[in-house]
Structure 1
Amino acid sequence: MDELMMEAEKHLERGEYEEARHIYEQIINDEPDNAKAYNKLGVIAAYEKNNEEAEAYFKKALELDPKLSSAASNLGNIFFEKEELEKARECYEKAIDLDPDNPIPYNNLAVIYKKQKEIDKFVKFYKKSVELSNKQLRNPQKDKPGKRQRATSSYTGTGILGFIAVALILYVLIRLFKG
């Protein structure tokens, strides 16, 4: 199953959503309790702007594996887009509890606090996000030997490109919510 997951991930990274979806559905047919495959189907649905479907997939992934940090963070993103900031905050906090070394939910919480004009909290979570991103750049495999970093899979390319992507996304989001 790992080979199929890697093949689907390659399609997903290239934006080949139909091919990736087909493989994730095949995985679920073979392993109905595969939370990671449901999470990835949610990612595809979110990319395609089908937030209701994405939300259902992320909830199913968390039902199957309540410790799947990426599904909690992804569900938070759906709530954020729906302007349900309290639910989004709860999801990001859960993601942090499950994987305190992942910079992404810290960054997402920072954006919520910026939007809510809670600058002290914004700064706190933004700094933590940057700190963790820098740590991953310095030691991409040290923290989890033999495993690919979760945050890295959210980025395209090398660690440097990932950090630049996070910084650029944060800049754009801050500019959007400024005011």
Structure 2
Amino acid sequence: MAEDLMVEGKKLMNLGEYDRARDLFNTLISREPGNAEAYNKLGIIYARQQDFEEAKKYFLKALELKPDFSSAASNLGNIFFEAGDLDEAEEYYKKAAVMDPDNPVPYNNLAVIYKKQKKIDKYVSFYKKSISLESRRQSDYYDSADMKESNKPGIGKYWWVLGIIIGVIMYFLLSRR
């Protein structure tokens, strides 16, 4: 039952039906007060509606309930980033990366901060890390899909294209200093 509420709430959230999704997540919390994911989802809804103070409360509650909740830490970093507090955003993105070192999102978010701060070496390092982790995640997806080799998409032959694109982007970004 709780899982059904979560699935339906996520679906409504993705459709932009925030009031209905909020109702479902609040119902879920009334049934399971320790459900950190429901608090995190409520925080996302408030953030999407530009109510950053309310969003912050829900992300903090999610982290209180589940101190190693990488997604909530990263989302809290996003709140600070939106507020222009790059130091606090960086702190939460770093926490998120420690909590889930295989998640590319916090590394990408750190790269964005370092780019804004014109710390190009750090930017490149964290951006490469995020690309590497995302690539590994995609590879793991195809490996775990239990697909026959002949049915797998031919992504291997496109790696050189991806390399060229990344090279051009890096050249463009570094030459704009």
Normalised to the residue count of structure 1, the TM-score between the two structures is 0.78
- Give the partner amino acid of 2:56: E
Would you identify which runs of 4 or more consecutive aligned residues in structure 1 move more than 3 Å?
none
Aligned equivalents of 1:31 and 1:97: distance in 2?
27
Give the superposition deviation at 1:140. 2.1
1:60 is aligned to 2:61: yes
Q: How does 1:168-179 map to 2 (within 5 A)?
A: none
For 1:78, the equivalent position in structure 2 comes to 79
1:101 aligns with 2:102: yes
* TM-score, normalization by structure 2: 0.79
In structure 2, distance between residues paired with 1:4 and 1:140: 26
The higher-RCO structure (CA 8 Å, 6+ apart) is: 1
Structure 1, gaps ≥5 residues long: 144-170
Count of matched residue positions in the alignment of Structure 1 and Structure 2:
149
> Residues 85 and 72 (structure 1 numbering): CA distance in 2 closer, same or farther, change over 3 Å?
same
Counterpart amino acid of residue 45 in structure 2? I
How far residue 73 of structure 1 moved from its aligned partner, in angstroms, is 0.1
- The code of the aligned residue for 2:54 comes to E
Q: Distance in 2 between matches of 1:103 and 1:81?
A: 20
Matches of 1:38 and 1:106, distance apart in 2: 23
- SS, match of residue 101 in structure 1: coil
Q: What's the secondary structure of 2:118's corresponding residue?
A: coil
Deviations 1:136-170 (A, max 9, x none): 22222768xxxxxxxxxxxxxxxxxxxxxxxxxxx
What letter corresponds to residue 80 of structure 1 in structure 2?
F
Equivalent residue number for residue 42 of structure 1: 43
Give the Cα separation in 1 of the matches to 2:61 and 2:119: 32
**Distance of aligned partners of 1:76 and 1:31 in 2 relative to their CA distance in 1, 3 Å threshold:** same
Q: Which residue of structure 2 aligns with residue 4 of structure 1?
A: 5
Residue 45 of structure 1: how far off its partner (Å): 0.2
Matches within 5 A, 1:6-155: 6-140=7-141
Q: CA RMSD in A?
A: 2.2
Q: 1:49 to 1:141 in 2, by over 3 A?
A: farther
1:48 aligned partner, one-letter code: Q
- Identical pairs, percent: 54
Larger Cα Rg: Structure 1 or Structure 2? 2
Describe the superposition over 1:4-30 as per-residue Cα deviations: whole angstroms up to 9, x where unpaired: 111111111111111111100000111
Q: In 2 relative to 1, CA 49–109 (structure 1 residues): closer, same or farther, beyond 3 Å?
A: same
Amino acid at match of 2:139: R
Per-residue Cα deviation, 1:72-127 (whole angstroms, up to 9, x for no partner): 00000000111111111110011001111111110000000001110000000001
Distance 1:142 1:29, change over 3 A: farther
